[in-house]
Structure 1
């Protein structure tokens, strides 16, 4: 394979949300292409008409755009089913039809008319003999090199199979870039089903034709496709096409070490767009199955370090705590404008940004700091400190108000805090000073240091909120 002509692809089905596993696969394909000066393509595998939706396809496009993993446009002259520079399997039926006819005419594929009952009986017999389930067709000769019309009632409920030698001792060996040599016995694959009809190809056949037409040089995908690879190699050979290199990525696991699924919580990129920055999610997904030189790493830095052969072989647990931590580190780097854009909260004042970003793990939590730009609402009972009375709270707030009114905020926080500490010593309880002030300024039991809040909202607002509390 010409390393100077690297072409890779990500090929999701628009039958649901774009899974984080798809996102990781897209990232590694993108990194490999960019590292080697190659092309990164997108293919929409939408042959499942009943389950495929335009909404899901839009979700795929939006996810890749959000992650900034935009695919390279396919060239129209490649005679593919292209729309907007992207290949769609649903627009390539004539292409599959022609290749299926070619295989059948050459005797490399055939129509199989075994009934469901016969296939089930064969499967049970193989299970009882502890053999791998596969179909060994003894009807091959009946329709040898016969090409039925796609609409013929004769082939209703039939299936097209690849003609595989049952008695062959051949071993199918491919050198996985990540895992090394992987071996399968051809005879244990049986006669592989490749299409329901001339106009309805099955997965393994369609992807071989597609990858060949797209000139894909490296097929980089999840390890759950390893068992498909020997079947696809046989199809490549039958069609007399060049076989690409294969690399199978480890699966992303849930906390129980099983494949990540909806029962573990969020599994689609859409589940994370509200709370996480795309750079943080990419950093997290990149580091799940690869060891980079540092924990916080940009996409561009990943490109420089990425080596496909060094991707981990074992699955990695999706650790939400690690993702939260990474996101918090990226949030700290945001400018005021970037924070406002990321959170969708245009009212955040510049002065509040350090106070928020220092504490934020998820973007949706920014709204909890609304008291930094809006007047807080709270019940008067919240002002009470432990067993204190309203009278003692009012007295403390009156004295705090005097300190605020007489203090020049240009002198900084420390002198202001010392003045409040002195008042706390005078009253014999610092909590009686700081608790009502915290509530008056934030309306919450838990908040940043009230001194920090005061310096964000300013002297005038601080006095106004103390007055509001005193009037409750």
Structure 2
């Protein structure tokens, strides 16, 4: 049997992290079994589905690198198929027209609730043929009234639901459009889906969908229902916990590999291993190893993983993802050192790509102001002498290398009989505009020598103005 999975989001909003994890699990299971992965857009909710949401889903999937073998399929383009099968069920007596008005349905529910019963459709039109000719109707599936639905969930084990607990589901609305639960069944059948991996909120739909599949004479896929993701306060993950949109993580400076690594561990594990390459995920993944319990989202853990991947990923990959942030923050890196060299010395110092761009501006563009706190502390009149001497030594260097730059700084401190900090900190603020940078020797070596000389002159101007005020 060919393993075939699907990810089937509704385009009513962005791709959230819960959906991304479901997509990842489906994708990994297909890849681990040399199978195929299908992308399907379930856009039957015509009022809420938007092209913007479709684009957001595609962007998220592409950014994560979860490529699909088939699709994207759109349910709205398959209405003829759904309607023909609904007609088939009508002809076979497995579905029927229901003419209940909204008021009648509400009265039905109120009576049941008053009697302490579960509110549900009571089958009023199930066996009637006295159909009015001028009244709108829906079409309901004739759910079996005896027996039960049993299925072996790959994550939760055996699940059994009595058919007496299920009412007759609407499969076509009064406007003629098919409903979600029916479209899903037909799509999974037509697309040859062998395994359905989805959120636990669909467990109640599964017995209904199995009954419809059986009525159509279609094979039953294997189901795996994944638990929800909670915030660190134990409540369902939502915007109040921070970013929940996949593309927001891109915007905030996370690498897709870091988010994938985090999401795969959010409910699945392989021993105590924390770091997984994509190849390891594919090799080791199984549905049975997914935890039944809900998982809590921990942003600090994700940040830790992101730092790891910024430091350990091939620099070319980091550059690829950094480009978006460079454009977003309008930093032109054409006039300066190679990005690869900057990343090498900055990677240990940042948590995100966004932060990497923010703290690296001085490598590529000049500044006219110094960080106020750093300048107040280190660009004082007492710094003029060491700055003047080290400026001269830097200007006279035969080689502009980290070794030569460090030697010039050391010699300045020795000749003036001062500690290294008395030379290094004023020079750091003068050269970078602030009080934090990688080691001065490697930092300065990546910046044009004349720029450093000019920036020290700017520091003298700042100190002189400070003396006058």
Q: Deviations over 1:402-452 (max 9, x none)?
A: 45346665436765564466478x34x665433322211111243334444
The equivalent residue for 2:367 is 376
RMSD (Å) for aligned C-alpha atoms: 2.7
The equivalent residue for 2:42 is 45
Contact in 2 for aligned 1:93/1:199 (Cα 8 Å): no
Contact in 1 for aligned 2:261/2:277 (Cα 8 Å): yes
State yes or no: 1:7 paired with 2:1: no
The equivalent residue for 1:464 is 454
Contact in 2 for aligned 1:35/1:304 (Cα 8 Å): yes
Instruction: Give 1:333-412 correspondences, 5 Å limit.
Output: 333-344=312-323, 345=326, 346-347=333-334, 349-350=337-338, 351-368=341-358, 369-379=360-370, 384-386=375-377, 390-405=380-395, 410=401, 411=403
Runs of 5+ consecutive residues of structure 2 not aligned to the other structure:
327-332, 463-469
Quick one: distance in 1 between partners of 2:372 and 2:189? Answer: 72
Quick one: distance in 2 between partners of 1:216 and 1:90? Answer: 19
Q: 1:173 to 1:198 in 2, by over 3 A?
A: farther
Q: Deviations over 1:321-374 (max 9, x none)?
A: 111221121112345544433222444623322122222221111222110222
Q: 1:153 to 1:449 in 2, by over 3 A?
A: farther
Contact in 2 for aligned 1:438/1:449 (Cα 8 Å): no
Quick one: distance in 2 between partners of 1:384 and 1:217? Answer: 65
Q: 1:395 to 1:418 in 2, by over 3 A?
A: closer
The 3-state SS of whatever aligns with 1:215 is coil
Runs of 5+ consecutive residues of structure 1 not aligned to the other structure:
74-84
Quick one: distance in 2 between partners of 1:265 and 1:153? Answer: 52
State yes or no: 1:324 paired with 2:303: yes
Contact in 2 for aligned 1:15/1:51 (Cα 8 Å): yes
Contact in 2 for aligned 1:94/1:199 (Cα 8 Å): no
The equivalent residue for 2:330 is none
Quick one: distance in 2 between partners of 1:181 and 1:423? Answer: 81
State yes or no: 1:212 paired with 2:189: yes
Contact in 1 for aligned 2:386/2:412 (Cα 8 Å): no
Contact in 2 for aligned 1:220/1:247 (Cα 8 Å): yes
TM-score by length of 2: 0.86
Quick one: distance in 1 between partners of 2:422 and 2:410? Answer: 15
Quick one: distance in 1 between partners of 2:155 and 2:287? Answer: 7
Q: 1:278 to 1:241 in 2, by over 3 A?
A: same
Contact in 2 for aligned 1:383/1:393 (Cα 8 Å): no
Contact in 2 for aligned 1:160/1:196 (Cα 8 Å): yes
Q: 1:97 to 1:389 in 2, by over 3 A?
A: closer
Superposed displacement of residue 282, structure 1: 1.2
Q: Deviations over 1:268-325 (max 9, x none)?
A: 2211223122222111111112113532212121111011111111121222211122
State yes or no: 1:225 paired with 2:202: yes
Equivalent position to 2:105, from 119, 128, 134: 119
State yes or no: 1:447 paired with 2:441: no
Quick one: distance in 2 between partners of 1:11 and 1:226? Answer: 15
Superposed displacement of residue 45, structure 1: 1.0
Superposed displacement of residue 196, structure 1: 0.7
Quick one: distance in 1 between partners of 2:164 and 2:111? Answer: 17
The equivalent residue for 1:76 is none
Quick one: distance in 2 between partners of 1:380 and 1:162? Answer: 70
Quick one: distance in 2 between partners of 1:321 and 1:420? Answer: 42
State yes or no: 1:26 paired with 2:14: no
Q: Deviations over 1:75-95 (max 9, x none)?
A: xxxxxxxxxx43211111111
Quick one: distance in 2 between partners of 1:199 and 1:175? Answer: 34
Quick one: distance in 1 between partners of 2:412 and 2:125? Answer: 93
Equivalent position to 2:58, from 61, 72, 76: 61
The 3-state SS of whatever aligns with 2:37 is strand
TM-score by length of 1: 0.86
State yes or no: 1:296 paired with 2:275: yes
Contact in 2 for aligned 1:292/1:302 (Cα 8 Å): no
Q: 1:455 to 1:106 in 2, by over 3 A?
A: same
The 3-state SS of whatever aligns with 2:443 is helix
Q: Deviations over 1:79-128 (max 9, x none)?
A: xxxxxx43211111111111111212222211222222332233234334
Equivalent position to 1:311, from 285, 290, 305: 290
Quick one: distance in 2 between partners of 1:197 and 1:160? Answer: 8
The 3-state SS of whatever aligns with 2:446 is helix
Q: 1:445 to 1:37 in 2, by over 3 A?
A: same
Quick one: distance in 1 between partners of 2:25 and 2:425? Answer: 51
The equivalent residue for 1:284 is 262
The 3-state SS of whatever aligns with 1:246 is strand
